[in-house]
Structures are given as C-alpha cells and as structure tokens.
Amino acid sequence: TSAPLVLGIETSCDETGIGIVRGTQLLANTVSSSMQEHVRFGGVIPEIAARAHLEAFVPTLRQALDTAGVTVEELDAVAVTSGPGLAGALMVGLSAAKGLALAAGKPLYGVNHLVAHVGVGLLETEGAAPAGLPPHTGALLVSGGHTEVLRVGSLTEDVELLGSTIDDAAGEAYDKVARLLELGYPGGPKIDALAAEGDPQAFRFPRGLTLPKFVGTAQAPGPHRHNWSFSGLKTAVSRAVEQFEQRGEPVPRADIAASFQEAVVDVLTAKAVRAATEHGLSTLLLGGGVAANRRLRELLGQRCEQAGIALRIPPVSLCTDNGAMVAALGAQLVAAGAAPSSLDIPADSSQP
C-alpha cells in the first residue's frame, strides 16, 4: 500500500493555506495571506479574515492541486483545522472541507492547529523523515498564542504539558515590543530583521522565572522550573525606550531589538532543553510561528547538540501558518488508522 495522499486546509487566522502531502513527502504548500488588510488596525480583524478566506479558498486550492499535479478524485483524505483559532475564519475552511469531502466521497479529518504545528516536523524536508513519531519525543511550540514545552507520546492523544508561559506568549511579546519600537505589525519578523543590525549584549534584559526560588533544584524543582514569563521583559524594554525618549536621545532600536530577542531566545532554549533532558526526551520538534526566528533556530540547535538531543526544525515556510502542516498531521492520522471525523464537526475556537 502506498502512503496516503492528503489535502490539508488551514484557515484559523489570516492565512488561507492549502497543502498536499503523500505520507511524509510534501507535494504542495500554497498560502494566501490577508495580513496586508489588517496592518492598519494593528491586529487581525476576524470578519475581514473570514471574508478573505472565502475569496481566496478556491484559487488557493486550484494552485495547490496544479503544483502537486493531483486531482481531488485521487485524494485519500481531506484534513482541516477545526481549532483553535478565529471562529468565523475556521468556519470557512471547515465548510469548504466538508463540501469537498462530501462531494468527492473522501474521509474528513478535523485536526488541532497546534498539534499540526508540531506534526509538520515529521515531513521529509531538511532531513530524512523518521518513520512515524520517534520514541521519547518532545516539542517546543512557540506561536502568537502559545509557548509550551510538551512530551509528545503520540500525535492523537498522549501529549503532556511540561511547561508553558504564565503570561504572554513568545510571539505576543515580539508583537508588543515591535509596537513599542514602532516597527509595525506583525512584529516577529520585523524584530528578527532589525536585531541582525544590533548588539545583543547592549542591554541585559531580564530572563523571567530563572531565579533559584522559581527553578529549584533537580531534586526539589521550583514551581516554575519549566515555565516562562515574558511580561517583565516587555516592561523592561518599555522602560529602556522611555529613558532615551525622556533624555531626548534617539532610541537605539536595533540594539534594543537584538537584546530583547537574546533574552527571549536564551530563556526559551535553556528551559526547553532542561525540560527535555529531565524528562528523558531524545528528539525535540520545534513548531509555531516564532520557530521562523533565526536566532531561536541557531541557539536551540547549539543547545540541543550540547545536550545530545536530536532537533527537527521545519523550513521557515512551514513554521508560520500553512496547509501543509494540516496535511502532514492528517497523513499521520490516516497511516495510524485513526477514525475520520464526522461531517458535523464544529469549529472549536478554544480547542486546548
């Protein structure tokens, strides 16, 4: 039997993504973004995003099918993000997926957006794909809404939360600091680019929850040993910006961006590697929009190597929201013999 041919649909936020995979092989990943329509509001406007999905869906689907050189009839399954995300945006993708599945007589798999960010690490892209999920696998999931380190026993049920942010998500911190530096929205890629021109040692910004009372020892772990906090960092950046403004001096934006990024990435990687090591994990998957960050990819690579952990980082195009990650997870579910979803599955905007 050949690997399942699966189409994945992603519409949870502002990206209309259609991906096509055959097993762990990527055939197409077409993304249409409505980001430019949200920029002037400084954030994604749900109704605008939903309307944009409705307009972009069929052209994006056609392009992905053309690129992959396959027809809807040939598919083995249709996978779609059922949550979490913006309710109206999710409904457009789900409705389209149900229509396709019903008309073409294909099984439908509703998948969790966050698990898909992790599952995309199992595609054959940079390195050879492992056959299924390796034993003792963990994930560092860093997006606009989530910052979590997980033990991933299976992509369907056995997922254990080892640590998470207690306030802002890493991507949220990037977006807020970008606003403070007047870099515009979305902030992550802008800070990433500006940081390349700055000195990461110019400012020593706080690394949240790293004091001994929070971390404890290996024998007696503190309450926040594997957790993060980014709100104090954001406040420290805000205070630094204010000091330059009050003195009437130009704000050294590049140095602040580089030092902020260094603080985020230092504490993200240190705690993820420690959590993975202490839980006996030998493979770590990096996923979510912030996984596109150059410094995070670099430092996590170094620290995983030192700790003897095999790291799988998807190419940048598969880190931000896309349909290939949904297709990749769908193919894993088909291969594992998971039951398809019913055609009445709802959009679950707050799915855990």
Binding-site positions for substrate read 141-145, 175, 188, 192, 293
93-102 long-range CB contacts below 8 Å, 24 or more apart?
93/9, 93/10, 93/11, 93/12, 93/16, 93/53, 93/57, 94/11, 94/345, 94/346, 94/347, 96/9, 96/11, 96/57, 96/61, 97/9, 98/343, 100/7, 100/72, 101/343, 102/343
The minimum distance between CB 188 and ligand KG4, in angstroms, equals 2
Any residues with CB less than 8 A from the CB of 139 and at least 6 apart, and which?
118, 121, 148, 149, 150, 152, 284, 285, 286, 287
292 touching ligand KG4, by CB under 6 A: yes
The minimum distance between CB 168 and Zn ion, in angstroms, equals 16
Residue 19 binds what, of Zn ion, ligand KG4, none (CB under 5 to 8 Å, by partner type)?
none
Pattern 152-171, ligand KG4, x by CB under 6 A: -------------------x
Report DSSP letters for 169-187, one per residue: -HHHHHHHHHHHTT--SSH
**Which segments of the chain does DSSP mark as H helices, in order?**
35-38, 46-68, 87-104, 113-119, 170-180, 187-195, 212-215, 231-246, 253-278, 294-307, 324-335
Are 8 and 1 contacting, i.e. CB atoms less than 8 angstroms apart? Answer: no
Which residue among 107, 121, 144, 314 contacts ligand KG4 (CB under 6 A)?
Answer: 144
**Tokens at 265, concatenated:** 């990435």
Which amino acid does the sequence have at 245? E
Chain residues binding Zn ion by CB under 5 A are: 143, 321
Residue 52 or 215: the one with the smaller Cβ distance to ligand KG4 is 52
Residue 289 or 323: the one with the smaller Cβ distance to ligand KG4 is 289
Separation between Cα atoms, residue 286 and residue 289, nearest integer Å:
10
Which residue among 5, 7, 9, 13 contacts ligand KG4 (CB under 6 A)?
Answer: 13
Residue 64 or 114: the one with the smaller Cβ distance to ligand KG4 is 114
Which residue among 82, 293, 332, 351 contacts ligand KG4 (CB under 6 A)?
Answer: 293
The minimum distance between CB 321 and Zn ion, in angstroms, equals 4
Return binding residues: 113, 117, 141-145, 175, 188, 192, 293, 321
Residue 186 binds what, of Zn ion, ligand KG4, none (CB under 5 to 8 Å, by partner type)?
ligand KG4
Residue 57 or 260: the one with the smaller Cβ distance to ligand KG4 is 260
Helical axes 187-195 vs 294-307, angle rounded to 10°: 70
Site for ligand KG4, residues 169 to 228, rule: CB under 6 A: 171, 174-175, 186-189, 192
Number of residues interacting with ligand KG4: please give it, by CB under 6 A: 19
Site for ligand KG4, residues 322 to 351, rule: CB under 6 A: none
The minimum distance between CB 207 and ligand KG4, in angstroms, equals 17
Residue 215 or 325: the one with the smaller Cβ distance to ligand KG4 is 325
237-241 long-range CB contacts below 8 Å, 24 or more apart?
237/177, 237/180, 237/205, 238/180, 240/203, 240/205, 241/180, 241/181
Residue 292 binds what, of Zn ion, ligand KG4, none (CB under 5 to 8 Å, by partner type)?
ligand KG4
| Contact footprint for ligand KG4 (CB under 6 A) | 13, 143-145, 171, 174-175, 186-189, 192, 288-290, 292-293, 320-321
